[in-house]
Amino acid sequence: MIKKHIPNSITLLNLISGSVAVILAVEGQMIPAVALVGLAAVFDFLDGFFARLLHVKSEIGKELDSLADVISFGLTPSVILFCLIRENPALQSTQGLAGILPYSAMLIAAFSALRLAKFNLDTRQSTSFLGLPTPANALFIVSLALISGSQALQEAGLLSSIAGNLYFQLALIPLSCYLLVSEIPLFALKFSSGFSFSANKLKYILVLLSTIALIAFQWAGIPMIVILYVVISTVAGQEKF
């Protein structure tokens, strides 16, 4: 049946989007690369959506999804951050470490792969997450390229300065690696029970605050959304999502 191949085909579009994004990032085309990471995130949502809708979930689909996510949300943000660090003017003041420091971004790819492997084996994460999901982590990282390159934000000063700060970029690497494999409970972003408010109140709150953040802060709203996601989940504590 054709329909059983639809979710896996969408997953492969996720993988292709991430692969092309890597090439574009290396070529210095950051905006299209970031856009493709966003597109990969859309495909990552749609493959699961159609698998549930068509009742064609499979073990191979689960494994393929993780393989695609390693590329799109592990390797791609690592390469983008590598390029941002390598091209950062402040790198030359690191006293002989300029040739080494950019490669530390590859730790994010390694910890993303570790997180995905753990997720596939962890039965506790069937309805919620432990640790930051790789798409959220990737979107936070790649948004730095948009923020530091946005003329409007550059004029605003502070947000662009933070995103383009070498030491912020370097500090983000161990923080990102920790959050990926941490035991911090985070609610799943899939809506349940027919989109009722009572069953999905945290998700609706996140959607509302995310919309406000994007309107108010443009590209800088993307990392704020990830921070909001972690904060709301933490405040909610051990509530069953």
- Domain positions in the chain are 2-184
CATH pick for 2-184 out of 1.10.287.3510, 1.20.120.1760, 3.40.50.300, 3.10.580.10: 1.20.120.1760
Residues 6+ apart with CB under 8 A from 95: none
Question: Residue 181 in 3-state DSSP?
Answer: helix
Query: Cα–Cα distance between 166 and 172 in angstroms, integer?
Result: 10
- Model-level pTM? 0.85
Ordered per-residue pLDDT tens for the chain, 241 residues: 677 778 889 999 999 999 999 999 999 898 999 999 999 999 998 888 888 777 777 778 888 888 999 999 999 999 999 999 998 888 888 777 878 899 999 999 999 999 998 888 877 766 678 889 999 999 999 998 888 765 544 544 556 677 778 888 999 999 999 999 988 888 877 766 566 767 678 888 888 998 998 887 777 788 888 888 888 888 876 444 4
User: In angstroms, what CA-CA distances link 117 with 63, 64, 109, 218, 229?
Assistant: 9, 12, 12, 34, 22
Quick one: tokens of 153?
């934000």
Query: What does R_g of the chain's alpha carbons equal in angstroms?
Result: 18
Question: Residue 187 in 3-state DSSP?
Answer: strand
